[in-house]
Chain A
Amino acid sequence: MKTETKTESKTEQTTKSAVLNNGVVPLSALRAGERCVVVRLAGGRGLLSRMASLGFTPGAEVTVVQNFGRGPLIARVRDARIALGRGEASKILVRR
C-alpha cells in the first residue's frame, strides 16, 4: 500500500513538472533511442560555451544513444557521439 502511494505521488509530480515546463525535460530524463530537440541550455558560462560549440544549440536534433539511468550517458548530436556526465546532461533542456 505504502509503496503504491509513493510511486503514485512521484508520477504525479513528474507529470505536473512536465506540464508546468510545457513538455521541456532535461536530456538526462530521456531513454536510449529517444529523439529530441534542444530548447535551452542552463549552467555556467564555461560549460555553456563548451556544450554550444559541440553542437548543443537551441534547435539542434539530439538522439540519446545510451542511458542506463545512472552514470554518464551518450548522445548523438550533429553526427557526433558525445559522452556527457549526468550533471552536464541535466543542463541541456529538450523537447521530445
Chain B
Amino acid sequence: MVALAGQPNVGKSTVFNLLTGLNQHVGNWPGKTIERKEGTFVYDGTTYHLVDLPGTYSLTANSAEEVVAREFIIREQPDVVIALVDAAILERSLYLVAELISLPAPVIVGLNMMDVAEQEGLRIEPEVLDAALGIPVVPMVATKNVGGRELVDTVDRLIRGEISYDPKQPQIRADHRQVLEEIETLIAGCVPEPYPQDWVALKLLEGDQEITRLTKECLSDEQWEAVHDVLRAHDDALVAVASGRYEWIGRMIRAALTRPKAGQISLTERLDRWATHPLWGLLILAAILGLTFWLTYAIGTPLQDLLDTYVVGGLAGLARAWLGWAPHWVSDLVVNGIIGGAGAMLTFLPILVIFFAVMGALEDVGYMARAAYVMDGFMHLMGLHGKSFLPLFLGFGCNVPAVLGTRVIESRRARLLTLFLAPLIPCTARMTIVAFLAPAFFGPAAALVSWGAVLLALVVLALSGVVINKTVFRGQRAAFIMELPLYHLPNWRTIGLLVWQRSMGFVRKASTVILFVSIVVWALSALPGDDVESSYLATVGRWLEPAGRVMGLDWRLVVALLTSFIAKENSIATLGVLFDAAEGAGLAETLATIYSVPTGLAFLTMQMLFIPCVATVAVIRQESRSWRWTFFNLAFLLVVSWVASAGVFWLVSGVGVGL
C-alpha cells in the first residue's frame, strides 16, 4: 500500500491520475465529509494500492484533513508515502516533508513541476537534494507524463530494500531543545497508542488539540499537571517547532537550489496586477462569469432540448408501448413517475457538464483563488471570506455541487453558513422556469424581470448571510489565509476526471433519492382516482391555499410549487397537467390570461427563494451532518420566500403596475 501526500496545489490529483489512470474510486473518509480517492497501479508484476491523502500544509490538527492524513499514516502504516512537492515553491512545500519523515513510514519525494521552476528561473539539482535529505528524490513534470515511471520504480525498489533510506530528521529550534527533552521525560512510558513518543512530545509543544486530549487521558492527574505547567510556560513553542523545520529545510536546499537574481518579474505577477486589482479584478471576474454562463446556456440548452425530446420523450414512448398490456397505473407510474421525475433531472446533465468543465478549467489554471481574493471584501459583509465565493458560484449551475463544494472552507462555522446560503443561488433549473414564464407575463419587460429575479435572490442571500451571521454565529469570523498558486496551462486529463466525478455524483443522486421522491409525489398526484384535480396532492394544495392566497396564488400554483421539490422545473410540468395544456407555447399564454401580473411576480419570487429540490436537501443533510441545521435551513427559506412573495404581491397590487 502506498500513500500520496502533498500540500494543496502541488499537482497531487494529476500525479494520482497519472499513476492509476481510470483504476480509481472516489468515496469519503469514514465518518468525515472529506473526499477519499483510492486506486491501483501495476509495476513489474506487483499490484500497488494507492491512497490519496487530503492536501494539507502541515500535519498539526488544525483541520479534519490534517488529522485524516496523519492518522492514516500512523495507523495504516503504508509501505511508502510519496510526498509530492512543488519545485517552484520548494522551501515551503518541503514543510510537509519535514513533518512526514518523523512518522513511521518511509518517504519518497516527488519533485513535481520542474518545468515551472525552470520558468521561474530556479535551478534545482535533484541528486544533491536526495543526498542532503537522505531519502529518494524523483524529479517530475506530471502534466507532461514525465517522471511517473521513475517514481513507481523508486517505490518498487524502496519496498524491496534496494535503496538505502536514512532520513536526516529536523530538530526543534535550539532555544527549545531542553523543553522538548523535559516533556519527553515527563511522558516517558505513558504515551497514547500507537503514536511514537518523541512525536507526541513535539505535538504537545505545538499545541495539537487531538494529541493533547489523548495524552491527558493516558497520564495520571499529577503527571498531566507537570506536563501542563511546562506547556503553559512555553506557549510560544509552536513557532519554535515550525522554525526548526524551516531551518532544516534551509540546510537541505542550500546546495541544491540556485535562485535567480532578484528583479525578474514572472508571468504570474504580471497577470495578477490585473486579476487581483480591486477594480480591474472585479471587472475581469464579471466578464469571466458572463462568458461562463453564455457558454453554458448557448451550448447546453439546445443539448438539453434534444435530450428531452429524444431520450426522455423516446423512453416514455417506448415504455408506453411496452407496457400496453399492463394496467394503466403501471405505465403512468413508469412514464410520469420515474421517467418524468428522474429523467427530467438527467436532461440537465449537458448544462452541468459544460459548467463543471469551465469551472474545472478555471480552477486548474489557478484563476479561482484570484476570484476568491477579489470577492473577499463582499463576502466579509456576511462574516464569510473569499473562499466561500467558490462553492456559491458553482450554485449557478446546480445547488448540489455548491453544497458539496463547501468542503474547501476550513472553518465549520463558515462552511455551515455557506451551505445554508447556497440554495438561494438561482440554479439552471430555476432559471428555466423564469425563462418560460417571464415572456408570457411581461412581454418586452421579460429580460428586465428575469434580471430582477436573479438580483432579488442575491440580495436576499446577502441579507440572510448578514442576519444569520449576526444571530446564530454572533459575528464570529474565520481567518482568511489562502495561497495564490502560480498560473499554468490547463491539464485536460485532470479537468476531465474532475468533470466526470462531479457529474457522476449528480447522476448518482438523481438516480436514487430523486427516483424515490418522484414516485411518492407521483403517487400523491395519481391517487385515489386518475384525475389530478381530485388527487391527494390537490387536496393538500387546497388545504394550503389560504397560505397561498396571501401572495395571490391559488391551489394549482401551490401544487406546482410543491412538486418543484423533486426538481425545480417540475413546476411547469405540473401546471401543464393541471391546465390540461401542452407544455409548449400554449401553457404560458394560458397562465398569463388566468393570473394577474402581481400573481405572476409573486410566483416567480417564490420560485427563486423557495426551499431547494430534494437532491440539494439531501446533500445539505450529508454535508452539515445535522438534521437540525437542515430543517432550520428549510424553515428559514420557507418563511423568507413566503414573506418576500407576499410582499411583492401586495406592493405590486398596491401600485397597480400593468393593471
Is A50's CB under 8 angstroms from B481's CB? yes
Write the chain B residue with the least CB distance to A51.
Answer: B481
Pick the residue among B243, B385, B477 that contacts A57 (CB under 8 A).
B243
Set A48, A66, A78, A88: member contacting B239, Cβ < 8 A: A48
* CB <8 Å contact, A45 and B484: no
Stretch at the interface among A7-15, A17-25, A68-76: A68-76
A83→B480 contact, CB < 8 A: yes
Given the interface pairs A50-B62, A50-B481, the reply to whether A71 lies near B376 with Cβ below 8 Å is: yes
Do residues B238 and A48 form an inter-chain contact, with CB atoms below 8 A? yes
Which residues 15-65 in A have Cβ within 8 Å of B in the complex?
A: 41, 45-55, 57-60, 65
Binary CB contact string for chain B from 374 to 416 against chain A (1 if under 8 A, 0 otherwise): 0011000000011000000000000000000000000000000
A4: chain B residues within 8 A (beta carbon) = none
21 example contacts (A-B, Cβ-Cβ < 8 A) are as follows A41-B239, A46-B479, A54-B57, A54-B92, A55-B91, A72-B376, A72-B386, A79-B92, A80-B483, A81-B272, A81-B484, A83-B373, A83-B376, A83-B481, A83-B483, A84-B480, A85-B376, A85-B385, A87-B479, A87-B480, A88-B481
Please name the residue on chain A nearest to B273 by beta carbon: A66
Number of interface residues of B (CB under 8 A): 40
Within 8 A of A (CB), among B42-67: 57-58, 60, 62
How does the 8 Å CB contact mask read for B215-238 relative to A, with 1 for contact and 0 for none?
Answer: 000000000000000000001001
The answer to whether A58 and B60 touch (CB under 8 A), given A50-B481, A72-B376, A85-B481, is no
Q: Is B364 an interface position by the 8 A CB rule?
A: no
Interface size on A, residues (CB 8 A): 33
- Complex Cα distance A64/B603, Å? 51
Q: Are A52 and B386 in contact (CB under 8 A)?
A: no
Residues of B within 8 A of A84 (CB): 480-481
Contact of B95 among A45, A51, A55, A82 (CB under 8 A): A55
Contacts known (A55-B91, A66-B276); A81 close to B483, Cβ less than 8 A: yes
**For residue B91, which residue of chain A has the nearest CB?**
A78
CB of B369 closer than 8 Å to a CB of A: yes
* With A74-B484, A79-B90: A58-B239 Cβ-Cβ less than 8 Å: yes
B276 contacts A78, C-beta separation under 8 Å: no
Chain A nearest CB, measured from B257 CB (Å): 10
Docked complex: B89-125 residues within 8 A CB-CB of A: 89-92, 95, 120, 122
Q: Determine if B480 and A81 form an interchain contact, defined as CB atoms under 8 angstroms apart.
A: no
Nearest chain B CB to A86's CB is how many angstroms away?
9
C-alpha gap A87/B477 in the complex (Å) = 10
Does B479 lie within 8 Å of A82, measured CB to CB? Answer: no
